């Protein structure tokens, strides 16, 4: 899924949790952790490609260049898109800090969204890494129908929350 959606979906889930429980999720942090896996995996490649005035596709680079840079990207992608890795991070933080960091749910959600929305041909999600390289052959998130569906749902949900928040603010004003 695209990086913007990876930031917006955790906000939606955070808003739902904030409305329906005593737990309050920091929406900025949950959005950050929602995009973090792609930032970790692709920032180095992006800057390297800009610095070398090349595109982001392996064919845009010489064999030796693409071999090294895409191997690094592949390792970072596997690390950042692994449920095993994020589970270990959450567990270590919980043991060391005696606190559960709910905002890291954005990272978990990112991986869960990527599993069915990445085809085998383009960065399939190695969600069991390092235990397994098995991936699920999902749909291609870049297909127009999926982009329209995804953003239509996101827009509808944000409009619903916006309407609800305006209604609550007006209700408070009228009750004064």
Could you tell me if residue 32 is inside a domain?
yes
66 within domain boundaries: yes
Stretch 86-109: mean pLDDT = 97
Domain count, the chain: 1
pLDDT exceeds cutoff 90 at 7: yes
Is 124 part of any domain? yes
Residue 171 lies in a domain: no
Quick check: 58 pLDDT over 60?
A: no
* Range 70-93 average pLDDT: 96
**What is the distance in angstroms between the CA of the first residue and the CA of the last residue of the chain?**
45
Q: Where are the alpha helices (DSSP H) in 62-143?
A: 63-80, 83-97, 105-117
Q: Domain range for residue 127?
A: 3-140
The pair phi, psi for residue 62, each rounded to 5°, is: -65, 160
What is the rounded CA–CA span in Å between residue 89 and residue 44? 22
Q: Is residue 154 part of a domain?
A: no
Q: Is 40 inside a domain boundary?
A: yes
Which residues are CB-neighbours of 41 under 8 A, at least 6 positions away?
73, 76, 77, 79, 80, 81
pLDDT at 65 over 70: no
pLDDT tens column, 101-118: 999 999 999 999 999 999
Average pLDDT, the chain: 91
């Amino acid at each position: 899924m695209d990086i913007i959606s990876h930031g917006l979906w955790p906000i939606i889930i955070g808003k739902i949790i904030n409305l329906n429980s005593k737990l309050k999720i920091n929406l900025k942090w949950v959005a950050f952790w929602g995009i973090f896996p792609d930032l970790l995996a692709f920032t180095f490649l992006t800057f390297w490609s800009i610095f070398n005035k090349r595109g982001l596709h392996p064919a845009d680079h010489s064999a030796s260049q693409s071999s090294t840079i895409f191997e690094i990207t592949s390792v970072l992608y596997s690390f950042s898109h692994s449920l095993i890795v994020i589970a270990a991070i959450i567990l270590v933080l919980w043991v060391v800090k005696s606190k559960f960091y709910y905002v890291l749910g954005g990272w978990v959600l990112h991986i869960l969204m990527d599993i069915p929305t990445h085809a085998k041909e383009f960065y399939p999600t190695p969600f069991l890494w390092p235990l397994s390289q098995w991936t699920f052959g999902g749909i291609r998130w870049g297909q127009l129908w999926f982009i329209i569906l995804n953003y239509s749902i996101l827009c509808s949900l944000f409009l619903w929350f916006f309407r609800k928040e305006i209604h609550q603010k007006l209700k408070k004003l009228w009750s004064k």
